[in-house]
Amino acid sequence: MTRIGFIGLGNFGKPIAEHLLSAGYEMTVYDIRDEAVASLVASGAQGADSPAAVGKEADVVFTVLVNPDQVEAVVSGPDGLLETLDPGATLIDVTTGLPDATDELERMLAEHDVDLLGAPASGNQRAGELTAMVAGRRELFEEHRELFDPFSSRVFHVGDRPSDGNVVKLLNNYLTYNNLYAACEAVVAGHAAGLDREKLLEVINASAGSSTATRYIIPVHVLDGQYDIQGSIGIADKDLRLVDQFLEDNATPGMLASNVRHLFRFVAADMGGPTDLSRTYDFVQEKMAEEK
């Protein structure tokens, strides 16, 4: 069975690693937080004290990090993966980043005969119901296709360039945050007008306005007061900066994208970056009340 290395055990990465471990894969894990590594070791993984130590034990390495700079650091920095990965190994990068950075990562790895799949994902990581947006050579994708099954309910091959995955993910994020902010405004406005929020959402979800925000984030995490989708406002702010940069680099600037990015900058400044993303609803409710 394929020996897996896994780097990045945060809110998004840790559940993915747990699903792979539960599927029976031999796994070596690394994170800058010792407690995150200890949790996986307690479940049967082997811990490592550096990315290089991961590379030494793995045929395939998953990276699930915050941004491309972190990926570059664990790949080519001191004690990085390239010091130990064998030629013919594969890196599967789940990090959301800019396509240009992924292109550069592919070139860097190719110099060491290491393959790359760009594989950002979206959805419910804890339930193993992610949508994986995998990009890279078709034959490489097919070779590693089964590795996505433990944590993904839908797996798409979206292009032959590893960076194609990030193009799809950025555009998906763009729609996600647009829909979330608009849905919060709609539900807050309807509630202020005297409507029952659950009934309003029921009608929207049977109509053209339906989105993940109206089907899941607001009814499951806002109306019941859980506020625990495990995605942060700070990550949304980061993702929208990347969307804005991608659109500019691609000579397709979007006016709505820029506006929503600025809105989430206000949300992050007001609520705090680590705050759960579903708290966007509270921000919108507060600001709309101030406008009365």
Confidence of residue 126 (pLDDT cuts 50, 70, 90): confident
CA–CA separation, 215 vs 37, rounded Å?
A: 34
- Cβ atoms of 3 and 88 within 8 Å: the answer is no
- Arithmetic mean of pLDDT, 167-196: 97
Question: Quick one: pLDDT band at residue 292, thresholds 50, 70, 90?
Answer: low
Sequence ranges of the domains in the chain: 3-160, 167-290
Give CA–CA dist 234/141, Å, rounded.
31
Q: What percent of the chain has pLDDT over 70?
A: 100
Nearest to 135 by CA among 151, 110, 109, 116: 116
pLDDT, tens only, 202-218:
999 999 999 999 999 99
Averaged pLDDT, 30-58 = 96
Is residue 127 pLDDT above 90, yes or no?
no
Confidence of residue 52 (pLDDT cuts 50, 70, 90): very high
Per 3-state DSSP, the chain is made up of helix, strand and coil in percentages (nearest 5) of 55, 15, 30
pLDDT value, residue 116: 98
Distance of alpha carbon 59 from alpha carbon 88, whole angstroms:
8
d(CA 226, CA 234): 19
Residue 50 has pLDDT above 70, yes or no: yes
Mind listing the pLDDT tens digit for each residue in 21-32? 999 999 999 999
Handedness of CA 165, 170, 175, 177 (dihedral sign): positive
The neighbour count for residue 171, using CB atoms within 10 Å, is 15
Nearest to 82 by CA among 40, 45, 54, 123: 54
Residues 6+ apart with CB under 8 A from 158: 133, 134, 135, 164, 165, 167, 168
Q: How far apart are CA 77 and CA 79, in angstroms?
A: 6
| Superfamily of chain region 3-160 | NAD(P)-binding Rossmann-like Domain (3.40.50.720)
Please give the CATH number for the structural domain made up of 167-290. Answer: 1.10.1040.10
Output the pTM of the full model.
0.94
Res. 43: pLDDT tops 80: yes
Alpha-carbon distances, residue 118 vs 83, 93, 113, 137, 150 (angstroms): 21, 5, 16, 10, 18
Count the Cβ atoms, other than its own, within 10 Å of residue 9: 25
DSSP letter at 156 equals E
